[in-house]
Structure 1
Amino acid sequence: MRPLSVVALLVLAAPDAVGADLPRSAPEAQGVSSQAVRAFVEAADKDIDALHSFMLVRHGHVISEGWWAPYAAETPHMLFSLSKSFTSTAVGLAAAEGKLSVDDPVLKFFPDDAPAEPSANLKAMRLTDLLRMSTGQLAEPARKASEPWAKTFLAQPVPFKPGTHFLYNTSATYMLSGAVQKATGQTVLDYLKPRLFEPLGIANPTWELSPQGISTGGYGLSVRTEDIAKFGQLYLQKGKWNGKQLVPEAWVEAATARQTSNGSNPKSDWDQGYGYQFWRCRNGGYRGDGAFGQYCIVLPEQDAVIAITAGVRDMQAVLNLIWDKLLPALKPAPLAADEAAAERLARTLKALSLRVPEGKGTPAKVAGKRYMFPANDGKIESATLEPGGKDGELAVLLRIGGADRRIECGAGKWQKGRTAWGRLPEQPIAASGAWTADDTFTAKICFTETPFAVTLRLKFNGDEVRCESEWNVGFGSTKEAALVGKAE
């Protein structure tokens, strides 16, 4: 976690330069009480499992920031559908440069992938329909490795007149990414680097590619929390950054306006209208967001931006907490300095951590025993508990798909490492473990550049072990089938 001193909270930083991080300020100097921010952070820590990071920007200054260990300020985080708002920006920039128009037919960019006899509705589909998630399709087209994604999209029936039927459609965003690449000769990532990422000081962004070498568009971008905040601040400033108009103001206004209706529930932040790959919010705001709690929330009336990364199942709960705790705290004028409250806030932020397994049991005498599993979908062949670091810490040694994966588990803390798991490639992790019962060792493994964490339980009984694993979040079932292994 980034060290958060009281001095850092109380000093009013100078205006940011090109490529620099945002300036810092005490909350009170920007009209927000440290006590109110602390109430939000404590409520999030207690009631939401789990935020990974939080940054509040007011009047262009970061007034509060925190990372729940093992997540850290310098680490990029997978954005999922928050990526869509960046793809929208690429479309706006390409339109401003005359490379394309939002009124261009979609088929113009993909003649080789078009059906032999396109329907009238498909012929009528324009880029603006993709931007507004109003393609006219009844279901989102699949994205399979066996067929070009654009071809699959264009083969999907279009029963509704484009522009008349809202359907959240990640494949539509992929088509926007493909159109930008066809029009500019660059992936969305490469196209945005000199136009957006570099001017904002967003270093080393990464974006997944489709099998056809096109940025996935609707997901796949990874950047830091502060990069999310900068992007939101750029939009709050109507596309201007350090005196330069990076994104046309007209595009910012169109992209964040209500372009289409998507529901009428006054209590849902997913029913307030949709722009060009931005959601409208309650309370006059708008946002980009991604699965499991990745947020870039812009509040123009309050001159504020909120950036959040997370691994949560209930995304509405996060927004409800913001409206309940933070929104009323955004006052129109500076407040009197409150050093005591600032100190308490700093201590709270510095101590943030995801919950670790707590030890209750007496360790079973199984260290060094290797337990073999029958063939399974997860390709876990064996498991062994081995002595790890100091203080009686243990390591879980798994053999997965023919490769040994050693996971060092901190005791009451997070231990960094690297591993692969299932469909997740080798990447940074942090793990913590404890004997949660006399016969059960529980390890929690966070994939620290993603929203994902897996809890692994090894329950020992004589020469057998029962292995259970459950993910914190997922698009389907989060529980994997239990495995029973036998000691060699």
Structure 2
Amino acid sequence: MPAQRVLLPRSTPAASGMSSRSITALLDRLEARSVECHSIMVVRRGHVVAEGWWAPYSAERPHLLYSLTKSFTSVAVGLAIADGLLSLDDRVVEVLPDHVPADISEQARRLTVHHLLSMTTGHRTDSLAEAWRLEPHDLVKGFLRVPFSKAEGTRHAYDNPTTFVLARMVERVTGRGLPEFLDERLFAPMGVEHAEWDRVASGAAFGFHGLHLTTEAVAAFGELLLRGGLWGDRRLVPREWVRLATRRHIDTLPFEDGSGNADYLRGYGYQFWMSRHGYHGDGSFGQLCVVVPSHDLVVVVTGANTQAQAVFDALWECLLPGMDGAGSTRDDEILTDRLRRLSLAPVPGSAAPERSVRARLDASAEDSALPDATTVTVHPVDGGWLLGIGSSLDVEVGHGRWRESSPLGRPVVAAGAWQGDTFVADLYLITTPHRVRLVVDAEAGTAVATWNIVPLTGPGLALHLRSPLMTRPDVA
């Protein structure tokens, strides 16, 4: 893989006026709470002061951001507005008249860019599944057909299609695809050389999810926002748009089950969440870009967990107290060594017995990654195994080290071991938060394949090994 371009300068916690012990305390807290992280980057006063990746994740790998993508789409909207091509008061029906249903309601006719950005269109909950059901080939039209329970502008509801519609509006007024528009106006000037987008079946970028970026690229985005849209001495995003997008426009509500988390009840901006300190872009399963202007701080975390609030608690309780603490070079060295050795737990076990196994997949487990009765074979090769899945997937598995293969285009990094008569392998879809654990019972001739966290775009493994992923998202 080619060398990654450096986007941000490096320094040490001590040189940036903070104690590295606070970062160590943050890592300790996340570990104690079993929060699975894949990367972390701390930027203070414009310099990266701490960075680490839990093997097999690594610095050069892009990572699926899920709904953190929405914050990038917000910037695209701001750029279109700055160009005079769009305004906050423009209505969906005026910009996308060919997507207007014949039976459109008066409220749907009134929906504006502001309502979409702030997710205040009047839907009670996320309308994605219902919109797809109503219009399987036109999500904009389906979104406009979903009934409204509240008046527009009065209530926030997290609603994925709002961002999809915004992406299509940007494309209509600019004449460019969303990825191409952001490449030209944002990523290329910043030096971000690889931004991959997952797409719906028509080929359009989701807009509300699906962007893959490296941890440093996300940190650079946070730093761009912190500097009010300036990248070096070049203005990429209008300061006024950054201010508008990252301030509260509407209150946020507890979840329907009555629960609520402190950093999700501070209000919502234009595709950004307000936090107890600063604001953040947020993606499912732990993809976070946290910007804290009061401390000249950006923190990026990627991972595979459902404990986002635990990350915020750790940031505020462990990291912030060290922002103006006295640091030492020895503490910095200890932290650097720890960050260098981060790793997810490999599969324990041996390389023996060196035998080939053939099994049939039992898909009775909920959300199995593979169809029932799929043939699974395990063949020993030098330093590991060749795993055959069905007729088209061959995955290389290492023992005591990670092995990479790309059976359908997107890389898989895998390691495994024998545990008695059972072969166990972890298959990391390394540009996503997801992995599959495959367990083969050699005596019974059966296998099971289960996700650590099921991808929101469906449980089928083969779908997520293709690049770009193209699917109709059945769930939010």
- Tell me the TM-score normalised to structure 2 length: 0.87
SS at 2:102's partner residue?
coil
**Is 2:396 aligned against 1:408?**
yes
Contact 2:88–2:113 at 8 Å: present in 1 too?
yes
Pairwise CA RMSD: 2.6
Name the counterpart of 2:26.
40
Name the counterpart of 1:298.
291
In 1, the alpha carbon distance for the partners of 2:240 and 2:415 equals 49
Residues 213 and 364 (structure 1), Cα distance of their counterparts in 2 relative to 1, 3 Å cut: closer
Task: In structure 1, list runs of 5 or more residues that go unmatched.
Answer: 4-18, 421-425, 481-488
SS at 1:435's partner residue?
strand
Residues 362 and 411 (structure 1), Cα distance of their counterparts in 2 relative to 1, 3 Å cut: closer
Name the counterpart of 1:486.
none
Contact 2:414–2:426 at 8 Å: present in 1 too?
yes
Tell me the number of residue pairs that the alignment of Structure 1 and Structure 2 aligns. Answer: 446
In 2, the alpha carbon distance for the partners of 1:375 and 1:307 equals 36
Name the counterpart of 1:474.
454
Query: How far is the alpha carbon of 1:281 from its aligned partner?
Result: 0.6
In 2, the alpha carbon distance for the partners of 1:70 and 1:374 equals 28
Name the counterpart of 1:256.
246
Query: How far is the alpha carbon of 1:363 from its aligned partner?
Result: 4.4
Please say which of residues 224-233 and 306-315 is displaced more in the overlay: 306-315
SS at 1:419's partner residue?
coil
Give the aligned residue type for 2:317: D
Map 1:36-435; keep pairs closer than 5 Å.
36-139=22-125, 140-142=127-129, 143=132, 146-263=136-253, 267-282=261-276, 284-331=277-324, 335=326, 338-359=328-349, 363=352, 367-372=355-360, 378=371, 381-390=374-383, 393-399=384-390, 402-403=391-392, 405-420=393-408, 426-435=409-418
Name the counterpart of 2:445.
465
Structure showing greater relative contact order (alpha-carbon pairs closer than 8 Å, 6 or more residues apart): 2
- Tell me the TM-score normalised to structure 1 length: 0.85
In 2, the alpha carbon distance for the partners of 1:290 and 1:119 equals 32
In 1, the alpha carbon distance for the partners of 2:148 and 2:344 equals 45
Choose the corresponding residue for 2:438, options 432, 453, 456: 456
Calculate percent identity across the aligned residue pairs: 36
In 2, the alpha carbon distance for the partners of 1:153 and 1:74 equals 37
Residues 43 and 411 (structure 1), Cα distance of their counterparts in 2 relative to 1, 3 Å cut: farther
Give the aligned residue type for 1:162: E
Task: In structure 2, list runs of 5 or more residues that go unmatched.
Answer: 365-369, 461-476
Query: How far is the alpha carbon of 1:209 from its aligned partner?
Result: 2.9
Larger Rg: 1
Contact 2:62–2:213 at 8 Å: present in 1 too?
yes
Residues 478 and 375 (structure 1), Cα distance of their counterparts in 2 relative to 1, 3 Å cut: closer
Query: How far is the alpha carbon of 1:240 from its aligned partner?
Result: 1.3
Residues 477 and 204 (structure 1), Cα distance of their counterparts in 2 relative to 1, 3 Å cut: closer
Post-superposition Cα deviations, 1:207-235, rounded to whole Å, max 9, x if no partner, equal 22333443211011111110100100011
SS at 1:394's partner residue?
strand
Residues 126 and 113 (structure 1), Cα distance of their counterparts in 2 relative to 1, 3 Å cut: same
Please say which of residues 150-159 and 25-34 is displaced more in the overlay: 150-159
Query: How far is the alpha carbon of 1:407 from its aligned partner?
Result: 2.5
Query: How far is the alpha carbon of 1:39 from its aligned partner?
Result: 2.6
SS at 1:269's partner residue?
helix
Give the aligned residue type for 1:206: E
Residues 373 and 316 (structure 1), Cα distance of their counterparts in 2 relative to 1, 3 Å cut: closer
Query: How far is the alpha carbon of 1:169 from its aligned partner?
Result: 0.8
Give the aligned residue type for 2:13: P
In 2, the alpha carbon distance for the partners of 1:235 and 1:380 equals 50
